[in-house]
Amino acid sequence: MKIEGTYRLVVARDVVWRALMNPKILARALPGCEKFETNPDGSYSAQMKVGVAAIKGTYQARVEILDVVPQEHFRMKVEGKGTGGFLRGEGTLALTEESGATQIAYAGDAQVGGVVASVGQRLMLAAARQIINQFFEAFRNQLPPG
């Protein structure tokens, strides 16, 4: 499944960048996050109860942040496994600044498997977009107002 999108924040880029690198903010932004830890190798481990409407499951996820270009760009690898299935994906996130606002552009490719992915395949893209938007809204709500 390929997914991409943008999210605009009326907040300076360096504020956005520091927040993206801040595990406390990420933990509160991740939808349904019940546990969040930074591992010794710098990756994150999270337990999330996430889904759409009545279709929710509990997932264990691991996120690695790689190829960091401060203020601009990073790559991430995500692995998740839980009650509805599993996911393995890679993505990129890029920040650009335009007159005091920051545009976040994300793009990713994931292999999904299990019940949610097979039976729910037709809903996956819309569900992924909704969950990503929930993340960005919760992320934005933790930033100082622009």
Partner 1 sequence: MIPQSFEYHVPKTLEEASRLLAEFGSDGKVLAGGHSLIPIMKLRLAAPRHVIDIGRIAGLSYVREEGGTISIGALTTHYQLESSELLKSRCPLLPETAREIGDAQVRNRGTVGGSLAHADPAADWPAPILALDAEIRASSTRGERTIPAKDFFVGLLTTALAADEILTEIRVPVLPERGGEAYAKMPHPASGFAVVGVAARVVRDESGALAQVSVGITGVGAKAYRATAVENALRGKRPSPKRLLEACAHAADGVETTGDVYASGEYRRHLATVYTRRALEKAIERASA
Q: Across the strands, what pairs with 38?
A: 44
Is position 83 an interface residue for partner 1 (rule: CB under 8 A)?
A: yes
Is position 120 an interface residue for partner 1 (rule: CB under 8 A)?
A: yes
Q: Tell me, by CB under 8 A, how many residues bind partner 1.
A: 22
Locate the DSSP E strands across the chain.
Answer: 2-9, 33-38, 44-52, 55-69, 73-82, 85-98, 101-113
Is position 111 an interface residue for partner 1 (rule: CB under 8 A)?
A: no
For partner 1, the closer of residues 19 and 116 by Cβ is 116
Residue 105 CB, shortest distance to partner 1, in Å, is 16
Is position 123 an interface residue for partner 1 (rule: CB under 8 A)?
A: yes
Question: Which residues from 25-64 bind partner 1, rule CB under 8 A?
Answer: 51-57
Check residue 17 and give left, alpha or beta (phi > 0: left; psi -120 to 50: alpha): alpha
Residue 126 CB, shortest distance to partner 1, in Å, is 4
Is position 105 an interface residue for partner 1 (rule: CB under 8 A)?
A: no
Query: What are the Cα distances from residue 118, in Å, to 24, 59, 62, 107?
Result: 34, 17, 22, 22
Question: Helices marked H in 21-120 — which ranges?
Answer: 23-29, 115-119
Determine contact, residues 56/49, Cβ cutoff 8 Å: yes
Is position 84 an interface residue for partner 1 (rule: CB under 8 A)?
A: yes
Q: Interface with partner 1 by CB under 8 A: which residues?
A: 51-57, 83-84, 115-116, 119-127, 129-130
